[in-house]
Structure 1
Amino acid sequence: MLDIYLNRVLEITILLYALSVLLYFYDFLQNNQKANKSAFWILSIVWFMQTIFLFLYIYEAGRFPILSLLEGLYFYVWILITVSLALNWFLRTDFLIFFTNLLGFGLMVVQTFSPIQLDKIENRTQFISELSVIHITVAILSYAAFALSFVFSLLYLIQYDLLKRKKWGKRLVRLGDLAKLEQMAYRLVVVGLPLLLLSLILGLEFAYIVVEDIVWYDSKIIGSFACLTVYGIYLYMRVKKKYYGKTLAYWNIASFLLVLINFFLFGNTSAFHVF
């Protein structure tokens, strides 16, 4: 029974860490203080849970957890979280904080769901199944964000065309302001991209555990990373190159078409699952 509760705590810790990374990413792009503060306090909870597990392990093992790769990995993640919290408290280094936590999250997933760790868990099959559920849920949320972003970009192009042809009327008013349509499309990509990245981290770990002789150039894996790349380029164009308007809208629409291809076509040709 205790193992079941510990597994739940581990799952909650990973989900909280994922939420913290998402909020740090939003703050990184939008310079949003509320998101930064929320991410900081959520990460503090993760650090507190990790610290408790660390001291419990030291108490049970009677030594410091550095003698094996997995032990060292856990301690390393704990250090990354500690450093990230210190940087967030004393400095404003958004870029460093986000990527430090992204690295820490990836290493936590690797450490938590490693085959050696899973062999210690009584309900191993259920634990792996729950990893799959988390992966698929996060993937669906990212696809939903991209779909809504696609709709806003499409509405932007329709509104732009109506304004250019001077088609005044109720339809023009109901579609909304061009700036707001573009801003909503951008914000949804800001939400969807880190969700997709987190889903890929979880999915690769799941595939490594479950699928024997996995082909890493599987169509689904390549397609997912292609989607990650095109939306990453979208954010680069928007934030760094200061692209706006039709160019960004067309790129966003083309990116979502790639998501659809990845979901329907590559999902059917993939060797291990539908997402």
Structure 2
Amino acid sequence: MIEMNLSRLNELTIIIYAISVLFYFIDFLHNNRKANRSAFWLLSVVWVMQTIFLFYEMIHTGKFPVLNIVEGLYFYTWVLITFSLLLNRFLRIDFILFFTNLIGFFMMAIHTFALTQSQSGALSDQLISELSIIHITMAILSYGAFSISFVFSLLYLLQYDLLKKKKWGKRLLRIEDLSKLDRVAYILNVIAVPMLLLSLILGAIWAYIKLDDFHWYDTKVLGSFTVLIVYSFYLYNKIVKELQGRTIALWNAASFLILLINFFLFGSLSRFHWF
């Protein structure tokens, strides 16, 4: 029973950690203090949960839990989170926090999957299945955000065309102004990109542990990383190159077409993906 509860604690920790990384990503892009504070407090919760688990292991085993790779990964993640909290609290080195915690999330995910291998067979299969559900759910949520972002870009292009051709009317008035359409499409992509990245991290680790014939050149794996890269370039063009208007809306629409190809075509060609 205790073994199962600790595994549940690890799963909950991963979910909270993922949300914290998402907020740090928003802060990284926009220097958003509210997002930074939210990420800090969520990361603090993760630290508390990890510390509880760490002390339980020390009391339960009577030794410091760093004597094998699984224990070492957990302690390494705890150290990264501790340093992140100290940096955030005292030095305010904001740019390093997102990337540090991305590494921490990756190590935490490896530890959680590896931990299930030491559990009983039925329990291990159940936990791995539940972690794969987290991976799938995060991927679909990111796809949903990308889809709605595409709709806003489509409305942007329609509104832009109506304004350019000076077709005044009720249709023009019912569509939001261009700046708001562009802004909402961008915000949705800011949320979806890190969510997809974290989903791919969980998916890759799950595949290595669960599948005997996992290959990086699987069509769905390549397609998913292509989607991530394309949307990352969208953010790069939007933030760094400051592309605006019709150009960035077209880029977003083209990115969504690549997403559809990955979802329907590459998914059907993959040997282990259904979605």
Question: Where on the TM-score scale, by shorter chain, does this alignment land: which range?
Answer: over 0.9
Moved more, 206-215 or 265-274: 206-215
Task: State yes or no: 1:144 paired with 2:182.
Answer: no
Match of 2:98 in 1: 98
CA distance in 2, matches of 1:241, 1:216: 31
How far apart in 2 are the matches of 1:133 and 1:221? 17
* Amino acid in the other structure paired with 2:129: S
Question: Identity of counterpart residues, as a percentage?
Answer: 60
- Over residues 122-166 of structure 1, what are the superposed CA-to-partner deviations in whole Å (9 max), with x where a residue is unaligned? 611111110111111101100000000100111111101111111
User: Which residue does 1:226 correspond to in 2?
Assistant: 226
Q: Distance in 1 between matches of 2:243 and 2:144?
A: 24
Q: Which 5+ residue runs of structure 1 have no aligned equivalent?
A: none
Structure 1 residue aligned with 2:132: 132
Distance 1:123 1:64 in 2: 25
TM-score (norm 2): 0.96
Q: More deviation in 136-145 or 57-66?
A: 57-66
Rounded to whole Å, the distance in 1 between the matches of 2:74 and 2:6 is 16
Q: Secondary structure at the match of 2:241?
A: coil
Matched, 1:157 2:133: no
Cα separation, 2, equivalents of 1:48 and 1:2: 18
Shift of 1:98: 0.5
Partners of 1:227 and 1:259 within 8 A in 2: yes
Aligned-pair CA distance for 1:117: 4.1
For 2:210 and 2:99, how far apart are their aligned partners in 1? 28
- Structure 1 residue 206: deviation in Å? 1.4
In structure 2, the residue matched to 1:118 is 117
How far did 1:241 drift?
0.9
Following TM superposition, where does structure 1 have runs of at least 4 consecutive aligned residues deviating by more than 3 angstroms?
none
Shift of 1:85: 0.7
Q: Establish whether residue 274 from structure 1 lines up as the match of residue 274 from structure 2.
A: yes
- Which letter maps to 1:170? K
| Cα shift at 1:65 | 2.1
* In 2: Cα distance, 1:139 partner to 1:12 partner: 18
Mapped partners of 2:105, 2:145: distance in 1: 22
Q: State how 1:1-275 maps to structure 2 within 5 Å.
A: 1-114=1-114, 117-121=116-120, 123-275=123-275
Structure 1, residues 205-228: CA drift from partner, whole Å, max 9, x if none?
Answer: 111122112122100110000001
Q: Counterparts of 1:79 and 1:3 in 2: how far apart (Å)? A: 23
CA shift in 2, pair 1:249/1:259, >3 Å: same
Quick one: which amino acid aligns to residue 244 of structure 1? Answer: Q
What is the TM-score with the length of structure 1 in the denominator? 0.96
Do 1:27 and 1:35's aligned partners in 2 also have CA atoms closer than 8 Å?
A: yes
Name the CA distance, whole Å, in 2 between partners of 1:14 and 1:22: 12
Amino acid at match of 2:146: F
SS of the residue corresponding to residue 113 of structure 1 reads helix
CA distance in 1, matches of 2:222, 2:94: 29
Query: What's the CA shift for 1:238?
Result: 0.7
SS at match of 1:223: helix
How far apart, in 1, do the equivalents of 2:136 and 2:178 lie? 33
Report the Cα distance in structure 2 between the residues aligned to 1:72 and 1:119, rounded to whole angstroms.
15
Report the Cα distance in structure 2 between the residues aligned to 1:133 and 1:148, rounded to whole angstroms.
Answer: 22
Report the secondary structure of 1:123's partner residue: helix
Q: Give secondary structure in 1 for the equivalent of 2:64.
A: coil
Equivalent-residue separation in structure 1 for 2:175 and 2:90 (angstroms): 44
Query: How many pairs were matched up?
Result: 274
2:25/2:194 contact within 8 Å kept: yes
Greater shift, 3-12 or 227-236, is seen at 3-12
User: Residue 55 of structure 1: CA displacement?
Assistant: 1.2
- What residue identity is the alignment partner of 2:79? I
